[in-house]
Structures are given as C-alpha cells and as structure tokens.
Amino acid sequence: MRDRNEAGDGGRGGRKTGDGRSDESEGGFALALSDLVRRGELFSVDCPSRDILKHLTSRWGVLVLIALLEGPHRFSALRRRVGGVSEKMLAQTLQVLEADGFVDRTSYPVVPPHVDYALTPLGQEAAHSVRIFADWIELNVGRILAERERRRHKVAD
C-alpha cells in the first residue's frame, strides 16, 4: 500500500482521473463519503469535517436547515416552525450555521428590529442533503420503532 504522499497528490489521498486531475476536484464531491471515511480523515480528532458534521446534524441544526428550505424566516417564525426549540438554542444554532456559511442573517434598521434568516447557496446544498436523510427517517420510522420495541423486549426477557 502506498503512503498518501507517495500517491503524488499532495497528501490528499485522491485518485487521478483520466486527464490527471484528482477525483476530489470533480465538482468537489466526487469521492463517496465511504471512500473518505475509509481514508480515516473523518475519524481523526483534528478533522475539521467533524465540527461541521456536528453543526449540520445537531438536533436543531437539521430542523432549522429543513425549515429554511421553505424560504427566509424571521426568528419568531422559525422558532414556531421548528417547535420545541428554546430561544437560546435557536439563537446558538443560527449563530453556528451562520459562522459556517450555511445561513445568512439580514438585519433591517426598523423599529421593532426585523431580522431574516435564509440559506446561502452552500446552505441550500447542505439542507437538501440533510433533508434526504430526514426523509429516509420519516419513510422508515415505523420499521425503526418496531425494531426498537423488539430489542427492548428482547433485553427484558
């Protein structure tokens, strides 16, 4: 097995395409996640992807991203849409998603203050991917709950 630096790709570990470009340069997402995970970067403590993954898949991050797919929302409307999130947690979630470049915050100089939150183009991409995952859960929630119940009874026996 070759060392990552021996691959001649600057240590990134990407394969070369027929024209000599790295697979990773194919739209920035050519390698499957499983290939990236197999290379071990996501499992590395220092991998910046881990923080981003945590932000996108947090309890409230997923719901905020999906809600913002519907269009811009004011803070109070977003809080009602998400349901169950405290003001503090929603504010923290929005701050993190804004810092990562997934959400834009637009403040209007009016009284009372008016602030809109909307997805950036990067946020749109991420939200669509998160929505696929959430849709899969919704489609399979019956099976998942049945399996949870089966295993709970199995442990109790």
Torsion angle in degrees (nearest 10) through CA of 146, 150, 152, 154:
180
Q: Taking 50 as the threshold, does the pLDDT of residue 2 lie above it?
A: no
Rounded to the nearest integer, the mean pLDDT of the chain is 82
If one compares 19 and 120, the residue with the highest pLDDT of the two is 120
Give the DSSP H/E element, type plus range, for residue 145. helix 121-156
Q: Taking 60 as the threshold, does the pLDDT of residue 3 lie above it?
A: no
Q: Indicate the pLDDT class of residue 30, thresholds 50, 70 and 90.
A: low
User: What pLDDT is recorded for position 42?
Assistant: 74
Evaluate whether 62 touches 54 at the Cβ level (below 8 Å). no
The answer for residues whose C-beta is within 8 angstroms of residue 72's C-beta and 6 or more apart is 106, 116, 117, 118
Cα separation, 150 vs 148, whole angstroms = 5
Cα separation, 36 vs 48, whole angstroms = 13
Which residue in 57, 59, 81, 86 sits closest to 69, CA to CA?
81
This prediction has a pTM of 0.71
pLDDT digits (tens, 9 = 90+) for 43-86: 788 888 888 989 999 999 999 999 999 999 999 999 999 999 99
If one compares 125 and 154, the residue with the highest pLDDT of the two is 125
Residue 9: both structure tokens together: 């790709």
Cα separation, 140 vs 91, whole angstroms = 31
Structural domains of the chain in order of their starting residue, each with its CATH number? 1-43 (no CATH), 48-156 (1.10.10.10)
Cα separation, 3 vs 84, whole angstroms = 49
- DSSP track, 49-101: HHHHHHHHTSHHHHHHHHHHTT--EEHHHHHHHH-S--HHHHHHHHHHHHHTT
3-state SS assignment for residue 150: helix
